[in-house]
Amino acid sequence: MTLQLLFDALSLGGIYAIAALGIALIFGVMKLVNFAHGQFIAFAVFALIVPSTDAVAVMGLGAAPALVLVPAILAVGAGLAVASEYLVFRPLRNASPVALMVASFALGVVIQNGLLVAYGGRPKAISLWPELGKPVALLGAEVPMLQIIVIVSVLVVLALLAVMLKRSRIGLEMRAAAEDFGMARLLGVRANAVIAGAFALSGALAATVALVLVAQTGVADVRMGGQIMLVAFIATVVGGMGSLPGAVAAGFALGAASVALQAALPIEARPFRDAFLYGLVILVLLLRPQGLFAAASAKPRV
Amino acid sequence: MTEHQARKLASLTTPLLLIALLAVFVLLVGAFGDRSLGRMAAETLIRVTLVVGFWIFVGNSGVVSFGHAAFACVGAYVSAWVTLKPEMKTLLLTGLPDWLAQAEWHVLPAAVAAGAVAAVLALVTGAAILRLSGIAASIATFAFLAMVNTIWANWTPVTGGTSSVVGLARYVSPWVGLGWAAAAIVVAAVYATSASGLALRATREDEVAASASGIDRYRHRLAAYTVSAFFCGVGGALMGHFIGVINPDGFYLSLTFLMLAMLVMGGIGSLSGAVVGVLVVSIAVEGLVRLEKGVTLGATEIALPAGSQEILIGLAMILVLIFRPAGLLAGRDLSLPAAWVAGRAKTTK
Amino acid sequence: MMSKLGVFDLSVRYGKLTAVNDISFSVAEGERVFISGPNGAGKSSLLAAIAGEVRAAHGRIEMDGDILSGRVPEAIARRGLSMVPEGRRIFRALTVQENLMVGVGLRRDKTAVPDDLEAIYAAFPILGTRRHANAGALSGGQQQMLAIGRALMTNPKLMLVDEPSLGLAPRVVDEVYDRLCSLQAQRGLTLVIVEQSSARAGRVGGRMLLLRGGRIVADGDATAFAADDLLKEAYFGEATP
């Protein structure tokens, strides 16, 4: 029972952490709170199926073997994010963070309704890797195979990202730009390359969330991604705006809080779980307006 | 009369001009429009109430709120709770306390109560949210919106959950809308020229001054947030009594988007921007809705797919942000020229 | 011979405020030029405009005959100009070594990077010992050395240094200038240094431009200036509008 809760918390927290990273990365380099991130996730979900307004989903890319499918979907997410940067955010490079945020909200609405036009408004059932739903026995608990895969992939993604940020040139440039973009440019760091890189990574992270969501829920819905994006926002605020380790830590913390609330709340209160979660977060921020993990941002581990 | 006095007097003409503009709009639609245009006029004036209320906070503080649709939601349900027939309530909303279930108020006090409850909610939640800095506060308002939506969609005995509450008295004519829109405009203009409004706008424009007056800024923000929520609450009630049916999702992301689009396109910097933004976007939406329903041009019927309305408004919003970042009115207010006002004041003396 | 840096009729404005007013001067290859003057004279704005951080309202900037004005900062950096900015602007969350490495992305001679890094550590041994520490943990003087080392790692031909003595103890300032001068001699660098203290500039030696109200009011030998009482009076006297 407790072990099962631990797995739930890890897998949910992992998804939140990946989504929060996608938001914190972009916020770090260009102070944009990307309200279109949830729609990046939804777009990657729908990229799996053939566009049609029919009730039944026909797998397109989703029918491909995982070895092709996973990189292709990551590329779709990255491509959408880079295109958004080029078309919407680059012309707004010198705009205020508020204008950027409002523009991203509008972009999200455009993407979501674009999906609505192409795929129709009703949720569609799609089954991606159904064989992963089977439970396996692990340390005396029955855990769905999928959950283990999710946890492992989340850890792999986090590790890859950490190595990339720590060891690669673009990673170093991103971290420098996140701290002082003007100074980085004075040292010859190309603003366009760094920002496009951050968007590409963020889009690929959104696509990762999309794959996990589809595999877990078996549904494609134009509204999906919204709730996760909100939790991810909260994680970036709680983690100290723009701090990547803070975002990851806060993502896992919110996942754990969410699972704990689900277990602790009486049955009739469970539908309100997210409301409790948001309320809890506002409460936490009252006590520490600079974010729970703000101190950690001074010495990032990634 | 000094130049300063003349300017102050000229700024007082802004709300009058805006109300006159809306009155002309209602009269024109009444004289030349069909029934569906009349409905569009009423809806537009409700939106003016909502967006002017929204502007009182966003325009003066410079902090974008994503939470104001939640105040409209609360307002709409408060008005439904106190005005619906008791038989309806015992059937639909079984969890209401007795005094609410039996209440049968007139629509006007109901609208005021809707605004008041929204204002109290704003005061309480704003006390927490507005302690955060600009962007974090915006995110927190978004969390607040989601929180209210989650509660309303699941608190079935009291809100009816995701199933709609029906049977609200449909009393909102263009003239009722105009009355509330005028009230919102007057209060917004008064607030903007009050000590609190001026102080708040000063902090919006100057970050140094803002940090120097941190505590005051918080108080003024909270004041603006509360007043602002009142009119959004009223606007929500009016929306309910305009359509006759309410549902939590009617007061969620689409409404947030529409309110933001109107404000941004008109220009966040001025009250006139808010009003003009509503007019422009409403007229565009009306055109697009007709296109989505289908228009017969000769032998061919053209219909835009559902969703294209939001796509086009979203694109328009992005283009405005890129090419005219201060909005259509660029932060200016409609007002009579100061010299003219000064001249009039002399002749009346 | 073509000058290393040429500034022609340059003006910088912030709104209605004119920070740099129609300035022209040139700097020869290998020269050391101090820019001095009271607060608000436009010294930092001048450097920011040359580095491309601030857009000039009017005028032209050339380096080796190549026009810099209108280019973005990263493009200017890639032409061999490097900046040690006011307040040092160290990347505090990065390690010392990472700070040094940020600017090497623009270099074509990547194979020379390890040797250059060792040369920086030889010139500033404290940076070598603390190479894996967070830069935010360094003292002010150490951060100044890091900022200089970071600028040098781009292998510049021309280096702009803004107020290297700001907030440092006099003994540390001496050390910073010693290193700067010996590095300049080793590498044949051209240096443009903003230095508020004309006495300090005079002791280090070089050419001096005196700025006041956004204009150059004097141009000559720094040591001679430092000894000139009349000039000091003009310097500390009432500002003319």
Q: Do B134 and A97 touch (CB under 8 A)?
A: yes
Q: Do C94 and A176 touch (CB under 8 A)?
A: yes
Check pLDDT > 50 for residue C198.
yes
Backbone angles phi, psi at B207, to 5 degrees: -65, -35
Q: Which one is predicted more confidently, C85 or C196?
A: C85
Question: What number is the average pLDDT over the span A14-20?
Answer: 94
Residues 6+ apart with CB under 8 A from B122: B71, B225, B226, B228, B229, B230
pLDDT at B269: 85
Q: Does C102 touch chain A (CB under 8 A)?
A: yes
The whole-angstrom separation of Cα A94 and Cα C41 is: 27
Q: Which of residues 15-34 of A touch B (CB under 8 A)?
A: 31, 33
Q: In chain C, what is the greatest distance between 2 CA atoms, to the nearest angstrom?
A: 54
Q: C-chain residues within 8 Å CB-CB of A179?
A: 91-94
Check pLDDT > 90 for residue C118.
yes
The whole-angstrom separation of Cα C172 and Cα C192 is: 20
Q: C-chain residues within 8 Å CB-CB of A293?
A: none
pLDDT at A297: 38
Q: Do A117 and B261 touch (CB under 8 A)?
A: no
* Cβ–Cβ pairs < 8 A, chains A and B: 130
- Cβ–Cβ < 8 Å for C116, C166: no
CA–CA min distance A116, chain B (Å): 6
For chain B, the domain total comes to 1
Check pLDDT > 70 for residue C233.
no
Quick check: is B275 in a domain?
no
Do at least 3 CB pairs under 8 Å connect C with A? yes
Q: Does A186 touch chain C (CB under 8 A)?
A: yes
In chain B, % of residues over pLDDT 70: 91
Q: Residue C62: beta bridge partners?
A: C6, C67
Q: Given pLDDT bands bounded at 50, 70 and 90, which one contains residue A40?
A: very high
Q: Which of residues 33-92 of A touch B (CB under 8 A)?
A: 33, 88, 91-92
> Best-predicted range by mean pLDDT among A217-226, A239-248, C114-123?
C114-123
pLDDT at B212: 61
Q: What token pair was written down for B91?
A: 């059937």
ipTM score of the complex? 0.90
Among C53, C74, C98, the residue with its CB nearest the CB of A190 is: C74
Q: Given pLDDT bands bounded at 50, 70 and 90, which one contains residue A295?
A: very low
pLDDT at B100: 84
Mutate to test the interface with C, among A183, A189, A241 (most CBs of C within 10 A): A183
What average pLDDT does chain A have?
A: 86
pLDDT at C239: 42
Q: Given pLDDT bands bounded at 50, 70 and 90, which one contains residue A294?
A: low
The whole-angstrom separation of Cα B134 and Cα B122 is: 17
Q: Closest residue of B to A92, CA-based? A: B322
In chain A, % of residues over pLDDT 70: 95
Among B146, B310, B321, the residue with its CB nearest the CB of A109 is: B310
The whole-angstrom separation of Cα C145 and Cα A149 is: 48
Q: What is the pLDDT of residues B36-95, one digit of tens each?
A: 888 889 999 999 999 999 999 999 998 999 999 999 999 999 999 999 888 888 888 888
Q: A-chain residues within 8 Å CB-CB of C136?
A: 298-299
CA–CA min distance A281, chain B (Å): 9
Q: A-chain residues within 8 Å CB-CB of C74?
A: 185-186, 188-191
Among B142, B311, B318, the residue with its CB nearest the CB of A230 is: B142
CA–CA min distance B53, chain A (Å): 18
In chain A, % of residues over pLDDT 90: 46
Q: Does A278 touch chain B (CB under 8 A)?
A: yes
CA–CA min distance A282, chain B (Å): 7
Question: What number is the average pLDDT over the span B122-129?
Answer: 91
By C-alpha distance, which of B228, B232, B292, B333 is closest to B16?
Answer: B333
pLDDT at A159: 93
In this structure, the number of other CB atoms found within 10 A of the CB of residue C151 comes to: 23
Q: C-chain residues within 8 Å CB-CB of A186?
A: 51, 53, 73-74, 77, 82-83, 85
Q: Do B135 and A121 touch (CB under 8 A)?
A: no
Q: Do B136 and A285 touch (CB under 8 A)?
A: yes
Map B21-83 to HEC letters.
HHHHHHHHHHHHCCHHHHHHHHHHHHHHHHHHHHHHHHHHHCCCCCCHHHHHHHHHHHHHHHH
| Three-state secondary-structure class, residue C84 | strand
Quick check: is B54 in a domain?
yes
Tell me the domain boundaries of chain C.
Answer: 5-87+156-235
Q: Given pLDDT bands bounded at 50, 70 and 90, which one contains residue B213?
A: low
Check pLDDT > 90 for residue B299.
no
Question: Which of B124-158 are b and which e, b meaning 16 or more Cβ less than 10 Å from the residue's Cβ?
Answer: ebbeebbbbebbbbbbbbbbbbbbbbbbbbbbbeb
Q: Given pLDDT bands bounded at 50, 70 and 90, which one contains residue B166?
A: confident
The whole-angstrom separation of Cα B42 and Cα B174 is: 4
pLDDT at A39: 95
Q: Closest residue of B to A33, CA-based? A: B135
Q: Which one is predicted more confidently, B106 or A1?
A: B106
Q: Do A99 and B311 touch (CB under 8 A)?
A: no
Residues 6+ apart with CB under 8 A from B28: none
Q: What is the pLDDT of residues B220-271, one digit of tens each?
A: 999 999 999 999 999 999 999 999 999 999 999 889 999 999 999 998 888 9
Q: Given pLDDT bands bounded at 50, 70 and 90, which one contains residue B303?
A: confident
pLDDT at C224: 83
Q: C-chain residues within 8 Å CB-CB of A184?
A: 91, 102
Q: Do A237 and B307 touch (CB under 8 A)?
A: no
Q: Given pLDDT bands bounded at 50, 70 and 90, which one contains residue B206?
A: low
Pairing of strands C207-212, C32-36: parallel
pLDDT at B349: 43
One-letter amino acid at B232 equals C
- Cβ–Cβ < 8 Å for A279, A254: no
Among B143, B311, B325, the residue with its CB nearest the CB of A114 is: B311
The whole-angstrom separation of Cα B59 and Cα A102 is: 14
CA–CA min distance A188, chain C (Å): 4
- Residue A14's H or E segment, with its range, is helix A2-30
Q: What is the pLDDT of residues C138-154, one digit of tens each?
A: 998 899 999 999 999 99
Check pLDDT > 60 for residue B114.
yes
Check pLDDT > 60 for residue C100.
yes
CA–CA min distance C215, chain A (Å): 25
- Angle, CA B225 vertex, CA B222 and CA B230 arms, to 5°: 130
Do at least 3 CB pairs under 8 Å connect B with A? yes
Q: Poorest-confidence range of B46-55, B91-100, B102-111, C226-235?
A: C226-235
- Residue A137's H or E segment, with its range, is strand A135-138
pLDDT at A249: 92
One-letter amino acid at A275 equals A
Question: Which of A5-15 are b and which e, b meaning 16 or more Cβ less than 10 Å from the residue's Cβ?
Answer: ebbbbbbbbbb
Q: Do B321 and A117 touch (CB under 8 A)?
A: no
Q: Residue C63: beta bridge partners?
A: C5, C66
Question: What number is the average pLDDT over the span A58-83?
Answer: 88
Q: Given pLDDT bands bounded at 50, 70 and 90, which one contains residue A302?
A: very low
Residue B178's domain spans which residues?
10-252
pLDDT at B201: 84
Q: Does C144 touch chain A (CB under 8 A)?
A: no
Q: What is the pLDDT of residues A91-119, one digit of tens each?
A: 998 888 888 999 999 999 999 999 998 88
pLDDT at B92: 83
Question: What number is the average pLDDT over the span A64-70?
Answer: 84
pLDDT at C238: 44
| Three-state secondary-structure class, residue C161 | strand
Do at least 3 CB pairs under 8 Å connect C with B? no
Question: What number is the average pLDDT over the span C26-44?
Answer: 89
CATH topology of domain C5-87+156-235: Rossmann fold (3.40.50)
Q: Do A113 and B136 touch (CB under 8 A)?
A: no
Q: Closest residue of A to B152, CA-based? A: A272
Q: Do A191 and C103 touch (CB under 8 A)?
A: no
Residues 6+ apart with CB under 8 A from B261: A106, B277, B281, B313, B314, B316, B317
* Cβ–Cβ pairs < 8 A, chains A and C: 75
Strand segments, DSSP code E, in A139-210 are: 141-144
